[in-house]
A and B are shown apart, each in its own frame.
Chain A
Amino acid sequence: MADQPTAGERFIQGILPENPVYRQLLGLCPTLAVTNGLQAAITMSAAVMFVLFCANVIVSLIRNLLKPHLRIVIFTLTIATFVTIADRFLAAYVYQMSKVLGPYIPLIIVNCIIICRCEVCASKQGVVAAGADAIGQSIGFCLALSSIAAVREILGTGMLFSIRVLPEIWPDWVVMVLPPGAFLTFGLLLGAINWYSSRKARG
Chain B
Amino acid sequence: MKPIQPMEPMPLGTLERIKNNNIIQAWLVLILALLFGSSLAGIQITLGPKIEENKINETREKVPELILGKEAALKMTEAGQSLNVMPHSFVVEKPGRKAAYNVYEALDTKKNRLGWVVKAKGQGYADKIELLFGLDAAVEKITGVFVLEQKETPGLGNKIVTDEWRGQYIGKSTAKPVGVIKGGGAGSDDINAITGATISSKAVTDIINSAIADIKGPLAEKAKGGK
Residues of A at the B interface (CB closer than 8 Å) are: 33, 62, 65-67, 70, 73-74, 77-78, 80-81, 84-85, 88-89, 91-93, 95, 102-104, 106, 179
**Contact among A33, A62, A91, A104 with B47 in the assembled complex (CB-CB below 8 Å):** A91
The answer to whether B32 and A33 have CB atoms under 8 Å apart is no
Q: Complex Cα distance A103/B126, Å?
A: 10
Are the CB atoms of A73 and B43 closer together than 8 Å? Answer: no
Of all A-B residue pairs in the complex, the 4 with the closest CB atoms, nearest first, are A81-B36, A92-B50, A95-B54, A92-B47
Query: Count of A-B contacts with CB under 8 A?
Result: 60
B151 close to A (CB within 8 Å): yes
Closest to B55 in A: A95
Q: Are B51 and A91 touching (Cβ within 8 A)? A: yes
A78 to B36, CA, bound (A): 8
Q: How large is the interface on B (under 10, 10 to 19, 20 to 34, 35 or more residues)?
A: 20 to 34
Query: Cβ of B29 < 8 Å from any Cβ of A?
Result: yes
Q: Quick check: A77 and B51 within 8 Å, CB to CB?
A: no
The answer to whether B25 and A70 have CB atoms under 8 Å apart is yes
> Across the two chains, which residue of chain B brings its CB closest to A82?
B36
Q: Is B143 positioned at the interface, with any CB of A under 8 Å from its CB?
A: no
Nearest Cβ on chain B to A58's Cβ, whole angstroms: 9
Which of B29, B32, B58 interacts with A95 by CB under 8 Å?
A: B58
| Given A91-B47, A91-B51, A81 contacting B26 (CB threshold 8 A) | no
With A102-B151, A102-B154: A81-B47 Cβ-Cβ less than 8 Å: no
Contacts of B26 in A (CB 8 A): 70
CA distance A62 to B40 in the complex (A): 20
In the complex, the answer to whether A88 meets B47 with C-beta atoms within 8 Å is yes
A103 touches B152 (CB 8 A): yes
Residue of B nearest to A81 (CB): B36
In the bound complex, do residue A104 and residue B51 qualify as a contact, i.e. CB atoms below 8 Å apart?
A: no
CB atoms of B47 and A67 under 8 A apart:
no
A88 touches B51 (CB 8 A): yes
List residues 139-192 of chain B with CB under 8 A from any CB of chain A: 150-155, 158
How near does chain A come to B162, taking the closest CB pair, in angstroms? 13
Cβ–Cβ < 8 Å partners of B40 in chain A? 81, 84-85
